[in-house]
Amino acid sequence: MTTSSHILALDEEARVSARRIFSVISNELVQVELEFERQARSNVQVIDYLGEYLRASGGKRVRPALTILSNYAVGGDGSRYNSIRMATVMEFLHTATLVHDDVIDKADLRRKRPTVNALYGNETAVLMGDWLYMSAFETSLAERSLPILDILTRVTRKMTEGELLQLTLLGHADVTEAQYFDVLKRKTAYLFSASCEIGSILGGAEEKQQTSLRDYGLNLGTAFQLIDDLLDFTSSEDALGKAAGADLLGGKVTLPLIYLREAAPQTLEMVQTVLREGKYDTVRQGDVREALVRTGALEKARERADEYAENACSALDNLPDSDYCDSLRALPAYILDRDR
């Protein structure tokens, strides 16, 4: 069975299993929401308001769920307060990156709600993102764990580096596959990896188990972002909760466009035109999508997501069998299913 067919065969099972396991940790995720609300409180009124606004904006809470599931998967107790606290820290870090990304991308909408920068300006949004970062580190200090602080420091640096690297590549139609994956992993995948690794440390994992979950998160996060980049071309604004086709308009050349350039070099001018104009005018959005489908660029990018999903599953071979490990195995297919 090929990698792609193996993952696809898990789809229905993945949907059922992921729902079941997320239901099993529903109490823990409720505690994460309460902890988010507690950590976001401030005697500075604007921070208190924006913290609640961001919490209420929701999200899939994938990163906190990974921290809790990883804890349980190595035999820990994911319901303990330190697990809930650190799961919330991971969501704080993620939320901070989103707030800063929206400023950089000049985004007006996220999760079907106005962004902080759209409502209150870039200055407020940048400072709120900074506050979230600092609050996350302040909370993590309570764990008194140098390994955890080292992971958090490293992942925050990588995310910042990823953002800066992406800025240097904006507007360039000749972005390479290696450059694309370097930015992707720094901006997205390493936080997934850190969420899993920290959960495993809190659960008392052996070194081999900790490494397995670190690798699992890195591969899962890569697959997750690959699907997000595909959805930018294949989904609607209503489904995404933000503008569709916005990556290219914002100057970002993602993997489907890299594969399009390789399959049909003559399409480079079309991509350059959109990058130059910053809108779908001379070149229609439908023209880009049609070229991606016709050349097989979308399907090739989709196959890469399948590969990383398969690698994520394989990374769990050192973990003992449990419902929580089964859920982690099911999550890659669940994530891939967002593109169907």
Q: Mean per-residue pLDDT for 181-190?
A: 98
The owner of tokens 């902080």 is 116
Task: Give the per-residue pLDDT at 24.
Answer: 77
- Rounded Cα distance, 82 and 97, in Å: 23
Residues making up the chain, counted from first to last: 340
Q: Mean per-residue pLDDT for 61-76?
A: 96
| Contacts for 236-239: CB closer than 8 Å, 24+ residues apart | 238/112
**216: closest CA among 302, 91, 301, 325?**
325
- Rounded Cα distance, 116 and 36, in Å: 18
Q: Mean per-residue pLDDT for 279-293?
A: 94
pLDDT above 90 as % of the chain: 81
Which of 36 and 9 is assigned the larger pLDDT? 36
Task: Give the per-residue pLDDT at 245.
Answer: 80
Task: Give the per-residue pLDDT at 6.
Answer: 40
Task: Give the per-residue pLDDT at 145.
Answer: 95
Domain boundaries, position 42: 3-339
Of the listed ranges 10-24, 62-76, 128-142, 276-290, the least confidently predicted one is 10-24
- Whether the predicted pLDDT of 295 surpasses 70: yes
Q: How many domains does the chain have?
A: 1
Task: Give the per-residue pLDDT at 237.
Answer: 67
pLDDT tens for residues 160-185? 999 999 999 999 999 999 999 999 99
Q: Mean per-residue pLDDT for 136-164?
A: 96
Task: For residue 250, give both structure tokens.
Answer: 């914002």
- Rounded Cα distance, 332 and 10, in Å: 9
Burial zone of 223 (CB within 10 Å; 0-12 exposed, 13-18 middle, 19+ buried): buried
pLDDT above 70 as % of the chain: 90
Strand partners, 113: 110
Q: Mean per-residue pLDDT for 84-112?
A: 94
SS (H, E, C) the chain: CCHHHHHHHCHHHHHHHHHHHHHHCHHHHHHHHHHHHHHCCCCCHHHHHHHHHHHHCCCCCHHHHHHHHHHHHCCCCCCCHHHHHHHHHHHHHHHHHHHHHHHHHCCCEECCEECHHHHHCHHHHHHHHHHHHHHHHHHHHHHCCHHHHHHHHHHHHHHHHHHHHHHHHCCCCCCCHHHHHHHHHHHHHHHHHHHHHHHHHHCCCCHHHHHHHHHHHHHHHHHHHHHHHHHHHHCCHHHHCCCCCHHHHCCCCCHHHHHHHHHCHHHHHHHHHHHHHCCCCCCCHHHHHHHHHHCCHHHHHHHHHHHHHHHHHHHHHHCCCCHHHHHHHHHHHHHHHHHC
Task: Give the per-residue pLDDT at 58.
Answer: 81
Q: Mean per-residue pLDDT for 300-323?
A: 95
Q: Mean per-residue pLDDT for 246-251?
A: 92
Q: What band does 11 get if pLDDT is binned at 50, 70 and 90? A: very low
| Mean pLDDT taken over the chain | 91
- Whether the predicted pLDDT of 240 surpasses 70: no
**198: closest CA among 98, 68, 31?**
68
Task: Give the per-residue pLDDT at 18.
Answer: 52
> Which is it for strands 113-114 and 109-110: parallel, antiparallel or unpaired?
antiparallel
Query: 80: left (phi > 0), else alpha (psi -120 to 50), else beta?
Result: beta
- Whether the predicted pLDDT of 2 surpasses 60: no
Q: Mean per-residue pLDDT for 184-207?
A: 98
Burial zone of 260 (CB within 10 Å; 0-12 exposed, 13-18 middle, 19+ buried): buried
Task: Give the per-residue pLDDT at 8.
Answer: 40
Q: Mean per-residue pLDDT for 268-277?
A: 95
Strand partners, 110: 113
Q: Mean per-residue pLDDT for 238-251?
A: 76
Q: Mean per-residue pLDDT for 216-245?
A: 85
- Rounded Cα distance, 110 and 87, in Å: 22
> What CATH number corresponds to the domain at position 123?
1.10.600.10
Task: Give the per-residue pLDDT at 239.
Answer: 58
Which of 168 and 8 is assigned the larger pLDDT? 168
